[in-house]
């Protein structure tokens, strides 16, 4: 079969590349390993978002409260509840989208929120004490 007829995932697998199939937490900025470096914190008035375990992105207190509310309300925002190991899966209700604060963040939120979260992820590094 010509190379152009094989999708990218098949080409990567054929080349021996490991393709993860489960969500993983990725560092969004800095290196926050206390065994190697000092633990990063947030510059005042910012706080850690804590949208998920290990979420060290520095945001406003209002955004932190909103992320907590979104996470607390997550189970009621799915059109289909296909829970596995207490992790909800399935499509969001109409008019809602995945928040995507990290790879695998399946919390359903309003249309504008994923863009706000992406902006927080980018700006969070400049609000950290690690820079």
Please give the Cα distance from 53 to 68 (Å, whole number). 12
The residues, any chain, with a CB within 8 Å of residue 7's CB and separated by 6 or more, are: none
Identify the pLDDT of residue 115: 92
- Does residue 121 have a pLDDT over 80? yes
Average pLDDT in the chain: 74
Tokens of 94: 């109409």
Residues 6+ apart with CB under 8 A from 68: 50, 51
Q: How far are the Cα atoms of 5, 16, 44, 92 from residue 57, in angstroms, in the given order?
A: 41, 33, 13, 24
**pLDDT given at position 89:** 60
Task: Please tell me whether residue 122 adopts helix, strand or coil conformation.
Answer: helix
- pLDDT of residue 46 exceeding 70: yes
Residue 9's pLDDT is: 55
Confidence at residue 3, expressed as pLDDT on a 0 to 100 scale = 47
User: How many CA atoms are closer than 13 Å to the CA of 88, on its beta-carbon side?
Assistant: 20
What value does the mean pLDDT take over residues 66-94? 73
pLDDT at position 2 is 47
CA distance 74 to 85: 15
Beta-strand relationship, 47-48 and 58-59 = antiparallel
pLDDT band at 119 (very low <50, low <70, confident <90, very high): very high
- Do 28 and 118 form a contact (C-beta atoms < 8 A)? no
Distances (CA, A) of 84 to 72, 87, 88, 90, 91: 17, 5, 7, 11, 14
């Amino acid at each position: 079969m010509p190379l152009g007829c094989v999708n990218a995932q098949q080409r990567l697998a054929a080349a021996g590349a490991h393709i993860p199939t489960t969500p993983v937490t990725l560092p969004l900025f800095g290196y926050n390993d206390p065994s190697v470096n000092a633990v990063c914190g947030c510059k005042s008035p910012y706080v850690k978002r804590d949208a998920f375990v290990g979420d060290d992105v520095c945001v406003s207190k209002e955004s932190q409260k909103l992320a907590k509310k979104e996470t607390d309300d997550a189970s009621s925002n799915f059109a289909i509840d296909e829970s596995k190991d207490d992790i909800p899966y399935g499509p969001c209700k109409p008019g809602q989208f995945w928040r995507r604060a990290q790879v695998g963040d399946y919390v359903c939120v309003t249309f504008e929120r994923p863009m706000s979260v992406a902006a927080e992820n980018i700006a969070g590094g400049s609000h950290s004490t690690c820079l």
